[in-house]
């Protein structure tokens, strides 16, 4: 289970649907620094998702069930309600101008390669690399900020 964020701040609008994105304050500050550094190196990182409530996570799963997908197929890429890092306000889903979709093609973008080299400097880690112990499919777009100690 993931702890639901106690405090959130407005960050941006989603690049794909203009929905307001909110993050925990420290994650929001780290995201801003990450985006500026990427831009300074010639890369445009686009935010698609941030904080997601348990109710919204439930709606995401219900929408996919309605398309005929099995729950096992859905849970390979969507965390169960209550278990998503998005509930913490520290997780972000990213895209590139050349790929506005949450799919594996993001891993072939220069922005993804930049993230692999640089995201850790800003406290972000790739939550679901290939062959991860959680058995969640490879999600090159999903990064989570973790406080440094």
- DSSP states along the chain: --PPPS--EEEEE-TTT--EEEE-HHHHHHHHHHHHHHHHTT---EEEE----HHHHHHHHHHHHHTT--HHHHTTTSPPTT--GGGGT-EEEEEBTTB-SSSGGGGGSHHHHHHHHHGGGGTEEESS-TT-TT-PPP-TTEEEE----
Considering the chain, what percentage of its residues have pLDDT values greater than 70?
Answer: 99
Lowest mean pLDDT among 16-20, 36-40, 50-54, 116-120: 16-20
Once rounded to an integer, what is the mean pLDDT over residues 75-102?
A: 95
Mean pLDDT within 57-79: 96
Mean pLDDT computed over 8-33? 96
Residue appearing with tokens 């500026």:
36
Q: Is the pLDDT of residue 79 over 80?
A: yes
pTM, full prediction: 0.93
Confidence of residue 142 (pLDDT cuts 50, 70, 90): very high
**Structural domain boundaries in the chain:** 9-145
pLDDT of 83 strictly over 70:
yes
Euclidean distance between CA atoms 67 and 13, whole angstroms = 26
Does residue 69 have a pLDDT over 70?
Answer: yes
Per-chain mean pLDDT for the chain: 95
Give the contacts of 104 (CB within 8 A, at least 6 positions apart): 138, 140
Specify the residue for token string 């850790």: 120
Q: Which CATH number fits domain 9-145: 3.30.70.1560, 3.30.1380.10, 3.40.980.10, 3.30.930.10?
A: 3.30.1380.10
């Amino acid at each position: 289970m993931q702890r639901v964020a106690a405090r959130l701040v407005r960050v941006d609008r989603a690049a794909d649907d203009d929905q307001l994105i909110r993050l925990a304050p420290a994650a929001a500050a780290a995201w801003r620094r990450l985006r500026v550094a990427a831009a300074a190196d010639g890369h445009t990182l686009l935010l698609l998702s941030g904080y997601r409530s348990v109710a919204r996570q439930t709606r995401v799963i219900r929408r996919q069930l309605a398309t005929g997908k099995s729950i096992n197929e859905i849970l390979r890429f969507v965390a169960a309600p209550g278990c998503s890092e998005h509930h913490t306000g520290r997780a972000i889903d990213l895209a590139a101008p050349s790929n506005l979709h949450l799919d594996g093609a993001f891993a072939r973008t220069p922005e993804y390669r930049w993230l692999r080299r640089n995201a850790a400097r800003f406290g972000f880690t790739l939550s679901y690399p290939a062959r991860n112990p959680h058995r969640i499919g490879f999600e090159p777009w999903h990064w989570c900020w973790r406080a440094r100690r």
